[in-house]
Amino acid sequence: MTSATGKLEKDLHILVAMASEMEIYLTSDVLFWRMSKSRMPALTLGGYLMRQHRLLLLQDLLSPAEQVDLSSAVSQYNNSLIEKIVRFEQKAHRELDARLRQWGEYLKDVDRGTAATTSNYSTAVEVRTMISSIINQLQLAPYSLNPHVQQQVSLLDNQLRRSWEPGDLVWSEAWQPAYPNVEYWWLYGKPKYKPRP
């Protein structure tokens, strides 16, 4: 099993669990939902949508049985959204606010030279990718994206570009079809870390 396939299989396991709890999550006021299965990341819309995006585009790397599991999870997720447009939008915007703050704090740490080593970037950049996943969903009908979100993202992207060092995809090369460089430029390189004074 390659590391790319292993990570996708783990993503699928998480996605199936998230889809099974999505309906109750959407009706709750909790933003970071503690999953009933142990050792799972918290359920959020960004976490779900990021995984769904790459699993759907890379499903050829999965076995036929895993592709069936993926299809079932996506159907269950879609069914959980029925008659919950407003709930979805509200929760998505709450998560965007939280993720934008989280990403902004990380970029401040980069600017101050207090961020962890460059090896940490491939994990930290998941937040930026979740932001993109939520925005992409909110730009589809019947949803509506708050126009201020794009302005905030642009400001943070400009902040990252000031210390940007282009390079290879920070995740597995096999994932390139899901993350084209033009749209996901922040995954192709890393910020230049400044030594802490």
Read off the pTM.
0.93
Q: Name every residue whose Cβ is closer than 8 Å to that of residue 165 and which is 6 or more positions away in sequence.
A: 189, 190, 191, 192
Q: Which of 96, 94, 115 is nearest to 105 (CA)?
A: 115
- The pLDDT of residue 1 is 42
Q: What is the pLDDT of residues 103-159, one digit of tens each?
A: 999 999 888 877 765 558 999 999 999 999 999 999 999 999 999 999 999 999 999
Kindly give, in sequence order, each residue whose CB lies less than 8 Å from that of residue 20, ignoring residues fewer than 6 positions away. 73, 76
Q: How far apart are CA 154 and CA 148, in angstroms?
A: 10
